[in-house]
Amino acid sequence: MLLCGFMTARWVDRLERPLRFLEIPDLAAFLAGMNVLCAVLTYVKPEFPAQLLLEPSLVLRGQIWRMLTFVLVPPDLSALLLFFWLLLYFSYLSGLERSWGSFRLTLYVLLGALTIAAASTAVGVALGSGMFVTSLFLAFARESPEVRILLFFVIPVKIRWIGAVVWACIAWILLFGGYVDRLAVVSGLVNYALFYGGEHAFELKQAWRRRRYR
């Protein structure tokens, strides 16, 4: 796993010098803060998010900012649930930024947003930011599997087990979901696959070898 981790990191390291100008310092705080601002503006002006959402036809008409701004629109939740969602969102974003640094997080975020936007525009289907957020959570679960959160604010649960449930839901969608749901999942996990695909492939290969020679 460590060997593959270094291999996965190597291609990112090669990009860091030429693409360093893309780095956004304190990106976790920026993303969480913009979600808060968007939520406040939505309460004041309910039609505001429509200016940010990923609409393929509008992107093709020149509104290319939508390929990034859709990730700034928080989920449609009650004020209380949104507050706790934002706390969780910021906690694992900041955890990733501490583990990776700002450049790696910026690259992961850009890859996640742009692959979803590209898939949405290519097929003409509007996609939301759900899988973008999910890809960030799965990366955090991969980096910090032993971290505990309070489920229902009472039950301590390791992130690794929540991640396992999320992966099970993803598998269900891929097997039984509709076309749009499958497109959202596949395009939303390209960044995760680029960062961790090598590690997972190595682990599966090692598990197969252990089982074969048991």
Query: CA 133 to CA 112: how far, in whole Å?
Result: 9
Query: CA 147 to CA 42: how far, in whole Å?
Result: 33
Whole-number pLDDT of residue 153: 66
Whole-number pLDDT of residue 3: 40
| Per-run averaged pLDDT (10 residues), the chain, 214 residues | 47 79 92 95 92 95 95 91 92 93 94 96 93 96 87 80 95 94 95 87 73 70
Whole-number pLDDT of residue 170: 96
Burial class, 43, CB count within 10 angstroms (exposed 0-12 / middle 13-18 / buried 19+): exposed
Whole-number pLDDT of residue 55: 95
Whole-number pLDDT of residue 6: 41
Q: Give the count of beta carbons closer than 10 Å to the beta carbon of residue 113.
A: 22
Burial class, 207, CB count within 10 angstroms (exposed 0-12 / middle 13-18 / buried 19+): exposed
Whole-number pLDDT of residue 4: 41
Residue boundaries of the structural domains of the chain = 2-212
What is the homologous superfamily of the domain 2-212 according to CATH? Rhomboid-like (1.20.1540.10)
